[in-house]
């Protein structure tokens, strides 16, 4: 299917993490509304890395590598709440399954991928082998798939499995460098990643594997999000959020705070289409 480039649902916006700040950038269509970007959460002393959004409860979820915790708070303010605060060393990737009400995260200190309910209960390890530098993780909730990156310099890879941890396999292992960012576009059903080694954004259709380059010549991409033909990534050399479409960089949001931006995620006004029609196991 040709990648449909219809604009994102009206009212979509972005959230990105930078040290102790989580900043919200509204979108007009797919255009960054930089002048109305504002800090939604300021977390004393935390280094926020992984960021995810639950479209059902309008809750922001994030990992803090300084406090070694996973936390959540409502998008419209309210006190943050810790959901996981044990057994974490370097929690960097986070994904929310809004249908199954589960949170998935990667930890490059324990080299594990774990899952728990959204309140942190029923926690279990999904994978604790074959991981060196796991980082980004995303889910395709309706189809029950999860995807993650491992920027192991000896053997970088992007893997997939069902959300219950079954049928794990390597999806991409060729021509990868430092796959730091990953996003699954529920509209075009493409999986895209940001690679600080090859300096590229690339996409693949998981169902049939055709892969293509989305943008080249990036400086130092870290995290990635996107939908319907537009991708937004954080860059460590530019300390900025950059927007792009196929083969073309569009805009840049330069936050006032001069520090590395980390995780970035999309806030949809309503949950993307699709509910359980393929429940595995």
Chain positions contacting other proteins, by CB under 8 A: 18-21, 38-39, 42, 44-45, 47, 49, 65-66, 77, 90, 92, 108, 133, 151, 153, 178, 180, 196, 256-260, 262
3-state secondary structure (DSSP) of residue 36: helix
Angle at 25 between CA 19 and CA 31, to 5 degrees: 135
Is-contact 225 264, C-beta < 8 A?
yes
Smallest separation (angstroms) from other proteins to the CB of 131: 14
Is the C-alpha dihedral spanning 219, 183, 126, 84 positive or negative?
Answer: positive
Is the C-alpha dihedral spanning 150, 156, 159, 164 positive or negative?
Answer: negative
- Whole-number Å distance between alpha carbons of 170 and 279: 21
Smallest separation (angstroms) from other proteins to the CB of 39: 6
Long-range pairs, 110-115, Cβ under 8 A, ≥24 = 113/137, 113/148, 115/163, 115/165
Closest to other proteins by CB, 39 or 245: 39
Smallest separation (angstroms) from other proteins to the CB of 83: 20
Closest to other proteins by CB, 180 or 228: 180
Closest to other proteins by CB, 217 or 256: 256
Smallest separation (angstroms) from other proteins to the CB of 60: 15
Smallest separation (angstroms) from other proteins to the CB of 259: 4
- Whole-number Å distance between alpha carbons of 135 and 195: 12
Closest to other proteins by CB, 27 or 65: 65
- Whole-number Å distance between alpha carbons of 87 and 89: 7
Closest to other proteins by CB, 142 or 263: 263
Smallest separation (angstroms) from other proteins to the CB of 178: 5
- DSSP structure class, residue 34: G
Closest to other proteins by CB, 30 or 180: 180
């Amino acid at each position: 299917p040709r990648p449909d480039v219809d604009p994102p649902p009206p009212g979509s916006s972005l959230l990105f993490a930078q040290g102790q700040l989580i900043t919200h950038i509204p979108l007009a269509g797919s255009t960054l509304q930089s002048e109305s970007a504002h800090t939604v959460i300021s977390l004393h002393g935390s280094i926020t890395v992984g960021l995810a959004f639950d479209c059902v409860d309008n809750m922001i979820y994030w990992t803090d590598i300084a406090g070694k915790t996973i936390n959540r708070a409502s998008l419209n303010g309210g006190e943050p709440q810790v959901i996981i605060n044990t057994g974490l060393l370097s929690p960097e990737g986070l994904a929310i399954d809004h249908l199954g009400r589960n949170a998935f995260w990667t930890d490059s200190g324990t080299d594990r991928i774990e899952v728990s309910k959204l309140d942190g209960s029923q926690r279990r390890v999904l994978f604790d082998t074959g991981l060196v530098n796991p980082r980004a993780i995303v889910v395709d909730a309706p189809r029950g798939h999860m995807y993650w990156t491992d920027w192991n310099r000896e053997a970088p890879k992007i893997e997939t499995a069902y959300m219950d941890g079954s049928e794990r396999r390597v999806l991409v292992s060729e021509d990868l460098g430092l796959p730091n960012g990953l996003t699954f576009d529920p509209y075009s059903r493409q999986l895209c990643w940001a690679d600080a080694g090859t300096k590229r954004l690339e996409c693949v259709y998981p169902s049939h594997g055709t892969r293509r380059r989305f943008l080249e010549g990036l400086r130092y991409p870290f995290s990635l999000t996107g939908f319907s033909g537009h991708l937004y990534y954080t860059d460590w050399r530019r300390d900025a959020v950059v927007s792009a479409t196929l083969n073309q960089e569009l805009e840049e949001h330069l936050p006032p705070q001069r520090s590395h931006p980390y995780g970035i995620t999309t806030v949809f006004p309503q949950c993307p289409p699709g509910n359980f029609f393929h429940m595995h196991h």
